[in-house]
Chain A
Amino acid sequence: QVTLKESGPALVKPTQTLTLTCTFSGLSLSTSEMRANWIRQPPGKALEWLARIDWDDEKFYRTSLKTRLTISKDTSKNQVVLTMTNMDPVDTATYYCARMGPKWELDYWGQGTLVTVSS
């Protein structure tokens, strides 16, 4: 059974750095063709792709947020970590991690974690 679970703070202050962790179970991050993604969804708004890290450690970022995002993985813990610097209230959203299959489909999703940015 494949499960993904996001963890991190529910509340961060403006200008702080957010660190989120996604723990994979039933899938190995070191498997060839493994692609792990972060997606967010502000309340009442659309999904927004943020970043991806591939099995070969190649990394991709949303152009508009590239300077604020860092994605990394720890294959020994089967975890993917996303950091976002200089948080702002507009970054308030549910943050999801998801596995991307070979046809660029997001076939496994975590339950999401709501992050609120407020002083």
Chain B
Amino acid sequence: QSALIQPPSASGSPGQSVTISCTGTNSDIGGYNFVSWYQQHPGKAPKLMIYEVTKRPSGVPDRFSGSKSGNTASLTVSGLQAEDEADYYCSSYLYYKNLVFGGGTKLTVL
């Protein structure tokens, strides 16, 4: 159960777009469309932002979008806002019926 690979940090100015990548293998991201993304503010529990690669739960702004190509999934945050500054984690279904997280990316809004 090796962690999915995320860049440790990402940044952008208010209004800009930023994309965070999450790289796995054929046993997780590449083999299934069960990628999720979570936002975590300091001292808080993670919050689901994207599931099934591209879907947003009710209440999540459409500034957040997800995609996948091969073994790499991506989260794009458009129109960056100050409150988007947080840690972001990806997760994926992992054969067989397991779950694996990424190492997390700290998003800074400049």
Chain A residues with a Cβ under 8 A of chain B: 37, 39, 46-49, 52, 58, 60, 62-64, 96, 100-101, 103-107, 109-112
Known A-B contacts A48-B101, A49-B98, A60-B98; A104 and B93 likewise in contact (beta carbons under 8 Å): yes
Contact A60 B46 (CB under 8 A): no
- Chain A interface mostly helix, strand, loop or mixed? mixed
In the assembly, what is the distance between CA of A100 and CA of B51, in Å?
11
Residues of A contacting B23 with CB < 8 Å? none
Could you list 26 examples of A-B contacts with CB < 8 Å? A37-B99, A46-B101, A46-B102, A47-B40, A47-B46, A47-B89, A47-B104, A48-B101, A49-B99, A58-B97, A60-B97, A62-B1, A100-B99, A101-B51, A103-B34, A103-B51, A103-B52, A103-B55, A104-B93, A105-B34, A105-B48, A105-B51, A105-B52, A106-B36, A106-B91, A109-B46
Residues of A contacting B46 with CB < 8 Å? 47, 96, 106, 109
Interface size class of B (residues with CB under 8 A): 20 to 34
Contact B99 A107 (CB under 8 A): no
Q: Residue of A at shortest CB range from B49?
A: A105
Extra A-B contacts (19), CB below 8 Å, given A46-B101, A47-B91: A37-B99, A49-B1, A49-B91, A49-B99, A49-B100, A49-B101, A62-B1, A101-B51, A103-B36, A103-B52, A103-B55, A104-B32, A104-B51, A104-B91, A105-B34, A105-B36, A105-B51, A106-B38, A107-B48
> Which of B1, B45, B98 is most buried by chain A, counting CB atoms within 10 A of its CB?
B45
- B3 interface hit (Cβ, 8 Å): yes
In the assembly, what is the distance between CA of A101 and CA of B101, in Å?
16
CB distance from A71 to the nearest CB of B (A): 13
Contact A46 B36 (CB under 8 A): no
